[in-house]
Chains A and B, each alone.
Chain A
Amino acid sequence: MQHGKYRFIVGFLTAPLAIYGLFVIWPFIQSIYYSFTDWSGLSPEFKMVGFKNYTRLLDDEVFWKSLQHSVMLVVLLPLVTLTMALFFAFMLNVGGRRRKNAAIAGVRGSAFYKVVYFFPQVLSIAIVALLFQFAYNPNSGAINSFLKAIGLESVQPDWLGDPDLALWCIFAVLVWCTVGFFVVLFSAGMASIPKDYYEAALLDGANRITTFFRITLPLLWDTVQSGWAYVGILALGAESFAVVQIMTVGPGGPDYSTTVLPLYVYQKAFRDGQAAYATTIGVALLFVTLLFVAVVMKLGRRERLEY
């Protein structure tokens, strides 16, 4: 009965694996190779320089700043986003008052809220960043105008122009545009948790907080864990790059206050003509990403619950 099973599997796997190897693994190997050269990115000539790029990396203040910001984002963004998303999803699906016919339900108008939360997800990240750039304009932007309108004329921060605030401004935008996706994802997860559990808990007199920690969270753990890895990678890569590049137009905020690893890679490769050094930073980014995923997988390991 097993005849041809492997042939079948291999036949189907070779093409995708080859494509994966060619477009994912091979560029990785290539970048690692280039990180040992002095390639400028502006001419086809280059030579091997050994570990020079790596020793330079250790002394590079801007690199350490970018690393620090990237690590901050990768730790805090999943924490804040997922906590908020869990809270919202719980309220939308379970947290409502008891009503006729239904033992458990979301708060009033939860269907509407779901759409509202999900809305930012529909917009391109570039549009979101541009919109917020206008909102943060200290002279005529929405936020400072709002502060003025409610009588806080003396509080008019420079937002993106202030090194103490700039990174948090970006952080807020990242949270704003990722939370909605997880509200919907967690709502879907919660919908598959059998209602009997909640009813039994309610009969036993459990309040909302207990229900959440004893039933919802443990049963949702797998979803939370993948969500964690997903936001973390967004925070390390694409989203943070786009937002920083568009919003803090300068070289990564005032006094390097918002520069992140992918932005630094981009600047070195496409502005300073130091493509080899950029690949070196890219290799560092690769390690940070792998480390992050390893940590998430390790910390997140729980006994599998079946229901």
Chain B
Amino acid sequence: MGSTSAHNDREGVGRRDLIKRSAALGLITVPTMGFLSACASGDSGGDEKVDKGKKTKENPLAVNESAPLEIVIFDGGFGTQYAEDAKAVYEKNFPKAKVKFSSTQKIQSVLQPRFNQGTPPDLIDNSGAEQMDMGVLVGKKQLADLTPLLDAPSIDDPAKKVRDTLRPGIVEMGQFDGDPVWIMYYAYTVYGVWYSQKALDGLDAEYPETWDDMLAVCAKAKKKGIAGWTYAGKYPYYVPFSLYPMIAKVGGREVLDAIDNLEPNAWKHPAVKTCFEAYYELYKKGYILKGTPGLDHIQSQTAWTEGKALFIPNGSWVENEAAKTMPKDFDLAVNAPSGIDSSDKMPFGTIWASGGEPFIVPAKAKNSEGGMEQLRIMLGEASSKNFTSSVKSLTAFNGGTDGIELTPGLKSGVAALDKAGDNVVNPRIQDWYVALQKEKIGVGGLGEMMAGRLTPVEAIKKIQGYADEAAKDDSIQHYKHQ
């Protein structure tokens, strides 16, 4: 049609039309392109912080009373109710402030673009499978130093600093190199060997303190058709929850520190080999639930609550996470990992406990004082108690369990912590080198060994190789124990 309907007198106009059209198109395209590249790495927006408020006794962080506050919470095993309750307190204290609260399971998808644009929210619970890499955030100076919060008076007792009300290890966990504290871990997780006290009683057995006893209990269970152990086969990085503290118990804390520091031959320590061989024996003697390497964490927990296996390495969130399938009379309990024998360097009771649910205040947050104030509220006794009683987990606040009726798992976790005393270890490889810990050591090394496809010696060699690689890799930030 075009070729027949065109008239001679319009010939010239056509060409001009074309130019006009392409110019118009250019006009649309250029800003659109600008917009697109802003999406990828915008440098717009950003540093317009709100003015500070007046510093008073009630308001030690000098929060601007009328400034809006934005909170984003990870909606995971702990839900969001606890954070909403704390938000209500903030709203009560600062009635003029507009608080925007949202929750998501996909922290990274939701927040990564906002970090890129320089307009992040004021307080984030950076947790879950889609956690943003803390090392990168710190390395790129995207986080605010939380030291003012730690030095502020606590909400319950103005004579005490927030820092002095926290459980041991919490402040250190929020540091990377040097003094600034980048992360406030809110939950307090007890890792270890989880089991049903009822099932153990049914076998007429006690929780084993040495490995020989452990094998004896597993043999007893096997006779009754119960597997000794199961674990999250597709995520074998759950195995370290009991294996790492066992290594510390057998060889001393320094072994784990050397591993965290990526020192050469850290994994070649005899204690590591002893513990690997102990776990490998579980496989060789057939004490691991059949099919375990193909199960994910939920499937393995379900098999365990159904009584198909006795022990599972896990963290204290399991009580909430497995609540649906756990029988009423399960009598959940946790214990520190069994050692080898009495020649171990640390006593029985040595356990892994550390912070969970990392809260951060972005460096570019508009209302960072508000974000920190919200954390100060959450770290008070009332909010902490509310958290513990509703989601069955401890918080970073030291105490806050008085007067609450503790669930069996929580009670046993508190008892395990009491028993451990100072013998609490905290392997940092888990939060310093996520990829190394989870997929290389976890899936590539431990997972293969527990499935019987690598011997302990081969597994150690492979893992040492991974660790050396990570130590050399300058695309990741390296950290050392202070």
Q: Contacts A34-B40, A254-B451 given; indicate if A138 touches B8 (C-beta within 8 A).
A: no
Among A144, A254, A271, which residue has its beta carbon within 8 angstroms of that of B447?
Answer: A254
Judge whether B6 and A138 touch: CB under 8 Å. Answer: no
Contact of B133 with A271 in the complex, beta carbons under 8 Å? yes
Complex Cα distance, B40 from A126, in Å, reads 27
Taken residue by residue from 28 to 52, chain B's Cβ proximity to chain A (1 for < 8 Å, 0 otherwise) reads as 0100110011001111000000000
Q: Which of B14, B135, B435 contacts A4 (CB 8 A)?
A: B14
Count of residues in B whose CB is under 8 Å from the partner chain:
67
Contact A156 B291, CB 8 Å, known A1-B4, A5-B3: yes
Evaluate contact between A42 and B132: CB separation under 8 angstroms: yes
- Whether B93 is near chain A, meaning CB under 8 Å from some CB there, is no
Residues from chain A with a CB closer than 8 A to the CB of B447 are 250, 254-255
Specify which of A4, A136, A255 is in contact with B294 (CB 8 Å cutoff). A136
User: Does A43 have its Cβ within 8 Å of any Cβ on chain B?
Assistant: yes
Whole-angstrom CA separation of A41 from B17 in the bound complex: 42
Residue numbers in A under 8 Å from B448 (CB-CB): 163, 254-255
Among residues of B, the one whose C-beta sits closest to the C-beta of A43 is: B140
In the complex, how many angstroms separate the beta carbon of A246 from the nearest chain B beta carbon? Answer: 11
B3 near A4 (CB under 8 angstroms)? yes
Q: Which of B35-72 contact A (CB under 8 A)?
A: 36-37, 40-43
A interface residues, how many (CB within 8 angstroms): 53
Q: Kindly state whether residue A222 has any CB partner on chain B within 8 Å.
A: no
Task: Select which of B118, B133, B299 is within 8 A of A272 by beta carbon.
Answer: B133
Chain A contacts for B233, CB-based, 8 A: 158, 161
A274 and B43 CA atoms in complex are apart in Å by: 18
Chain A positions 33-68 with a Cβ under 8 Å from a chain B Cβ: 34, 39-46, 56
Q: Are B11 and A3 in contact (CB under 8 A)?
A: yes
In chain B, residues 436-456, which have Cβ atoms closer than 8 Å to a Cβ of chain A?
Answer: 438-439, 443-444, 447-448, 451, 453
Chain A min CB distance to B199 (Å): 18
Chain B residue with the shortest CB-CB distance to A160: B294
- Residue numbers in A under 8 Å from B3 (CB-CB): 1-5, 8
Query: Whose C-beta in chain A lies nearest to the C-beta of B465?
Result: A61
State whether the Cβ of B303 lies closer than 8 Å to any Cβ in chain A: yes
Instruction: Scan residues 239-276 of chain A and give those whose CB is less than 8 A from a CB of chain B.
Output: 248-252, 254-256, 270-274
Residue numbers of B with Cβ under 8 A of A are: 1-8, 10-11, 14-15, 17-18, 21-22, 25, 29, 32-33, 36-37, 40-43, 108-109, 112, 115-118, 130, 132-133, 135-137, 139-142, 233-235, 289-296, 299, 303, 434-435, 438-439, 443-444, 447-448, 451, 453, 475
- 28 residue pairs of the A-B complex, CB under 8 angstroms, read A3-B8, A4-B6, A4-B11, A7-B2, A22-B32, A22-B33, A26-B33, A34-B41, A41-B112, A42-B115, A43-B115, A43-B141, A44-B43, A44-B116, A44-B117, A138-B293, A139-B289, A160-B234, A161-B234, A161-B291, A161-B292, A161-B293, A161-B295, A250-B234, A251-B443, A255-B453, A256-B443, A273-B133
Q: What 5 pairs between A and B have smallest CB-CB spacing?
A: A8-B2, A4-B6, A161-B294, A138-B291, A251-B439
